[in-house]
Structure 1
Amino acid sequence: MRKKIQTVYQKSVAFIALTVFGAYRSFAQSAGGIDQATSEVSSYIDPVANLIIAIGAVVGLIGGVRVYIKWQSGDQDTQKAIMGWFGACLFLILVGVVIRAFFS
């Protein structure tokens, strides 16, 4: 009876050791993939942030021209248009800055 308990104990210890070792090796392999993905995503951050800031600048220029045309024609909702275009331009520029700060 004692020998049976000892055999079961040895088998369970061996099983636990193999399970822990296998899990450790799988985590080590996935960490390399995560590091590779992180470096690949990081290489795209600056161009994407610059593109978003450039789109914000273009939106700002178009908005400025549209607001100027409204103002020259005497529209009453010029302030509403200014706030809308300014908000859109500010949002795009801040998104570009936040993306760069978040991923850098």
Structure 2
Amino acid sequence: MMEWHWTILHKRTTQLWQLRSTIFNVNNNPLKIKIMRKQMQAIYRRGMAVVAMLILGVYNVMAQSSAGIDQATTEVNSYVDPVANLIIAIGAVVGLIGGVRVYIKWQSGDQDTQKAIMGWFGACLFLILVGVVIRSFFA
């Protein structure tokens, strides 16, 4: 089966090579050589124009003032405190729910109460620390 794929690939490659030979076959004809040279020069000019536009575009982007970056920084900093407070509030709510669930397990006499305490305490501690770390990261 692999030979079949290789034969198709070989056939396609041969066809493409023959097509290239017929298109670019100038046979030392001066008129064809002149036409081909003009076409290649046109392609070269277009390519150089594209490269020049890319370079100028990058230069214009890099030459902008830092006003946009300063505005983005102040906007992101304005969101930091509310997000940190929201995360701390979510941690408090999760802690209360966890405390109630642990109390219910403890009253019902479950054996895995200590595991539930550690899990809920770890989740609350993680959320509270994330709020503090976000606030200190953007300070």
2:109 matched to 1:86?
no
Q: TM-score, normalised by structure 2?
A: 0.56
- Highest Rg: 1 or 2? 2
Query: Which 4+ residue blocks in structure 1 deviate beyond 6 angstroms?
Result: none
| 1:27 to partner: Cα distance | 3.6
Structure 1 unmatched ranges of 5 or more: 1-18
How many residues align? The count is 84
Distance 1:46 1:98 in 2: 11
Structure 2 unmatched ranges of 5 or more: 1-54
Distance 1:28 1:103 in 2: 26
Same amino acid, percent of matched pairs: 84
Distance 1:30 1:52 in 2: 35
Greater per-residue helix proportion: 1
Distance 2:113 2:130 in 1: 26
Match of 2:76 in 1: 41
Q: TM-score, normalised by structure 1?
A: 0.74
Distance 2:83 2:63 in 1: 31
Q: Point out the more displaced range, 31-40 or 56-65.
A: 31-40
Match of 1:60 in 2: 95
Residue identity in the other structure for 2:73: T
Higher relative contact order (CA 8 A, sep 6+): 1
